Amino acid sequence: MSIPGDLKYTKSHEWTRSEADGTVMVGITHHAQELLGDMVYVETPAVGRQLAAGEECAVVESVKAASDVYAPVAGEVIAVNADVVDAPEKINQDAYAAWMFKMKPSNPADLDGLLAAAAYQTLVESEAH
Amino acid sequence: MLKQTPLNQTHRDMGARMVDFGGWDMPVNYGSQIEEHHQVRRAAGMFDVCHMLVVDVTGIGIREFLQTLLANNVDKLKEPGKALYSCMLNPAGGVIDDLIVYFMREDWFRIVVNAGTADKDVAWIELQRTAHAPQLTIRPRRDLAMIAVQGPQAREKVWQAIPAARAATESLKPFQAAEFDQYFIGRTGYTGEDGFEIMLPVAEAADLWKTLNTLGVAPIGLGARDTLRLEAGMNLYGQDMGEEVNPLEAGLAWTVELTSPRDFIGKPALLAKPVKMQMLGLVLLDKGVLRGHQKVATPHGAGEITSGSFSPTLNQSIAFASLPLGVAVGDVVQVEIRDKLLNAKVVKLPFARNGKSLINI
């Protein structure tokens, strides 16, 4: 199981990567893509959309099932990754490179409330039992 | 506690991702569902179908019994070894299960039923036996394993794995079976490809599976089984049909034989019901994925998707939809997906056969 130590995670299996400019990249975890299987469709939020923490804002669909993606924190969508929309299988190939959208958090301190790698690993292990 | 097939440990050893499938612990894939799908269309793959149940019916007068029990007419089975696809209906005309019945001898017919309905099916068959043909013996065969090998290379691979099978099965036509040694092999399947379904003693199943694998036959999970059968236009029990579904509306009219004077369970109810819906294919024109239960808007009224997925062969999303009569092949309808209306084209089923797309969009 791949859970990079420099990222933060949500209970709903999104990962976030904080950039130097205060923005945050969001994708779904390696564990999530493994559960979903071969990705065939990705729907990203509109640039400029204001998200509440935990709001449904994107959709990933594998051959098997559709799954909602939730905003890890409140903020504005400032960019989306057209590459994963064109080639959803990139999420299967490398979940932590295949970011889905970038956001500017309303309150950067909200990121402190997300899970560190060890805590996310514990969560995944507990869900497996 | 989930039920396990004789191949359970073998699946785990081969790296399968296991899921609860109607109470059975089954492989959903061994890595990539899409690659497994292509493997079956392009070469050969094998499926653990041991969770399905073989039921042997023996005794005198089976043919008459099955003419009452089944909606299709076993009189179509004239040569020993011939198989027939049929629904088994309740008195209201709903589908208890869909099954394959093999005619072996006048005193031996073999039925293969779905996993999720197996107990219900056996109870129903026994109930009808008691009422109509108490002399017959109904024997569920949990002592038999079942492995399906499907794909353009499937038969050749089986002949390499079981050399004696070549002479016994080379002349089998589609939907025909032969019994030899410890094997019962039918040229049947659920993928739209050529291939065999092999029944054999449980103790031999893992060896055959491993031998086939060394010959290049890939293990295929339930995920690819579903996309293959969807492309092949094959109904799935519980999704595309069930006890509340009229088979004449669910694309199964070709299996309901109404022309002969015989009386079968469910026939009066079917004849009394007006047919209002039809089962057709959809190909999504916009981006997204069609799924079961999505609503379909048409100029003739509302319809609903019964099964939908992404089609690896067509590289776009496809579905079976229950649509009002009046909707025709070539029409464009709207499917409601997450509050949006997306365009889909109505097509004839199946979508693919023998490795090739049959759809031009």
Between CA B278 and CA B331 the distance in angstroms is 14
B289 contact residues in A (CB cutoff 8 A): 40-41, 61, 66
**Count of CB atoms situated within 10 Å of the CB of B214:** 9
A64–B28 CB contact, under 8 Å: yes
CA nearest neighbour of A16 among A87, A91, A56, A71? A71
CA nearest neighbour of B73 among B270, B263, B235, B246? B263
pLDDT in tens, B185-231: 999 999 999 999 999 999 999 999 999 999 999 999 999 999 999 99
Between CA A70 and CA A58 the distance in angstroms is 7
Tell me the fold of B1-234: Gyrase A; domain 2 (3.30.1360)
Residue listed under structure tokens 């959309």: A49
Which of B17, B223, B287 has its CB closest to that of A63?
B223
Residues 84-103 of A with CB under 8 A from B: 92
Q: Write down the H helix ranges in B218-276.
A: 222-231, 267-272
Residue B119 is predicted with a pLDDT of 97
B289–A37 CB contact, under 8 Å: no
Strands B45-48 and B218-219: parallel
Is-contact B27 B2, C-beta < 8 A? Answer: no
Where b means 16+ CB within 10 Å and e means fewer, A94-111 reads ebbebbbbbbebeeeeeb
**Count of CB atoms situated within 10 Å of the CB of B201:** 12
H/E run at residue A123:
helix A117-127
Sheet with B177-180, side-by-side order of all strands: B177-180, B183-186, B195-201, B144-150, B45-48, B218-219
Is residue B116 over pLDDT 70? yes
Residue B20 is predicted with a pLDDT of 94
B291–A64 CB contact, under 8 Å: no
Chain B: closest CA distance from residue A94 (Å)? 14
Non-local (6+) Cβ contacts of B104 within 8 A are: B80, B81, B110, B177, B179
Ramachandran angles phi, psi of B79, nearest 5°? -90, 140
Is-contact A19 A104, C-beta < 8 A? Answer: no
pLDDT in tens, B264-274: 999 999 999 99
Is residue A101 over pLDDT 90? yes
Between CA A69 and CA A80 the distance in angstroms is 13
Where b means 16+ CB within 10 Å and e means fewer, B118-139 reads beebbebbeebbeeebeebebe
Non-local (6+) Cβ contacts of B73 within 8 A are: B67, B257, B260, B262
Q: Which residue positions of B form the known binding site for substrate?
A: 197
pLDDT in tens, A15-54: 999 999 999 999 999 999 999 999 999 999 999 999 999 9
H/E run at residue B42:
helix B33-42
Is residue B173 less than 8 Å (CB to CB) from chain A?
Answer: no
Strands A50-51 and B218-219: unpaired
Q: Which residue of A has its CA nearest to B228?
A: A63
B291–A38 CB contact, under 8 Å: no
Chain B: closest CA distance from residue A63 (Å)? 5
Residue B220 is predicted with a pLDDT of 98
CA atoms within 13 A on the CB side of B226: 25
Residue A128 is predicted with a pLDDT of 76
* pLDDT confidence bin for B263, thresholds 50/70/90: very high
Residue A127 is predicted with a pLDDT of 85
B33–A64 CB contact, under 8 Å: yes
Residue A129 is predicted with a pLDDT of 64
Is residue B361 over pLDDT 80? no
CA nearest neighbour of A26 among A64, A66, A68, A63? A68
Range scoring the smallest mean pLDDT among A64-73, A83-92, A120-129 = A120-129
Give the Å distances, CA to CA, from B254 to B26, B72, B73, B258: 31, 9, 11, 10
Amino acid at A63: V
Q: Do domains B1-234 and B276-357 have the same CATH topology?
A: no
* pLDDT confidence bin for A124, thresholds 50/70/90: very high
Yes or no: domain B276-357 corresponds to CATH 3.90.1150.10: no
Is residue A66 less than 8 Å (CB to CB) from chain B?
Answer: yes
pLDDT in tens, B50-109: 999 999 999 999 999 999 999 999 999 999 999 999 999 999 999 999 999 999 999 999
Which of B33, B227, B338 has its CB closest to that of A59?
B338
Structure tokens at A117: 């790698």
The whole-number average pLDDT for the span B138-144 is 98
Q: Which residue of B has its CA nearest to A41?
A: B288
For chain A, list the strands marked E by DSSP. Answer: 8-9, 14-18, 24-28, 39-43, 50-51, 56-62, 66-70, 75-80, 101-105
Give the Å distances, CA to CA, from B267 to B100, B126, B142, B260: 19, 20, 31, 11
Rg (CA), chain B: 20
The domain segmentation of chain B, as residue ranges, is 1-234, 276-357
A40 contact residues in B (CB cutoff 8 A): 289, 310, 317
Non-local (6+) Cβ contacts of B77 within 8 A are: B83, B84, B101, B103
Chain A: closest CA distance from residue B20 (Å)? 13
Amino acid at B271: L
CA nearest neighbour of A60 among A121, A122, A115, A14? A14
Which own/partner pairs from B20-27 qualify as long-range (CB within 8 Å, at least 24 positions apart)? B21/B51, B21/B115, B21/B222, B22/B51, B22/B115, B22/B116, B23/B116, B24/B51, B24/B115, B26/B51, B26/B221, B26/B222, B27/B219, B27/B221, B27/B222
Is residue A82 less than 8 Å (CB to CB) from chain B?
Answer: no
pLDDT in tens, B322-360: 999 999 999 999 999 998 999 999 999 999 998 899 998
Chain B: closest CA distance from residue A42 (Å)? 8
Which of B34, B287, B288 has its CB closest to that of A63?
B34
Between CA B353 and CA A13 the distance in angstroms is 38
Residue listed under structure tokens 């794909």: B151
Percent of chain B exceeding pLDDT 90 equals 98
CA B64 and chain centroid, separation: 25
Percent of chain A exceeding pLDDT 70 equals 98
List the domains of chain A with CATH numbers: 8-107 (2.40.50.100)
